Amino acid sequence: MEVPQNIQHQLTQFQQLQQQAQAVTVQKQNLDIQIQETESALEELKKTDENADVFKTAGNLLIKVDRNEINEELEEKIETLKLREKTMTRQEERVMKKLQEMQSSIQEAMQNQAQ
């Protein structure tokens, strides 16, 4: 039995949407890792002595920075990353919902074709 052109087109769109869902998931996982690393750095900073020198990386260099400035910078970075993570979560949910709808549509079309 040959698959009709319209169903083939739907299957192609479905595969593209699966790839998009996978890319969104990977981006979200990367954001999660960045959040964890930044939170860990902030925790370590809080554990250090108030008078300790603090450095941050800039390419291949370590640059001495003001403790309060880097603390604020890390907190802002966490906030920004969490906002991006929420956006990615919403995007992931939309893509997954669309995948489910397309899957149902394709299954229905295939069943109608078989009849």
Residue-wise pLDDT for 30-60, tens only, equals: 999 999 999 999 999 999 998 999 999 999 9
| pTM over 0.85, yes/no | no
Please state the three-class secondary structure of the chain as a single string.
CCCCHHHHHHHHHHHHHHHHHHHHHHHHHHHHHHHHHHHHHHHHHHHCCCCCCEEEEECCEEEEECHHHHHHHHHHHHHHHHHHHHHHHHHHHHHHHHHHHHHHHHHHHHHHHHC
Distance CA 89, CA 60 (A): 33
The CATH number given to 17-110 is 1.10.287.370
Section 93-104 average pLDDT = 95
pLDDT-based confidence at residue 1 (cuts at 50, 70, 90): low
| pLDDT score at 112 | 83
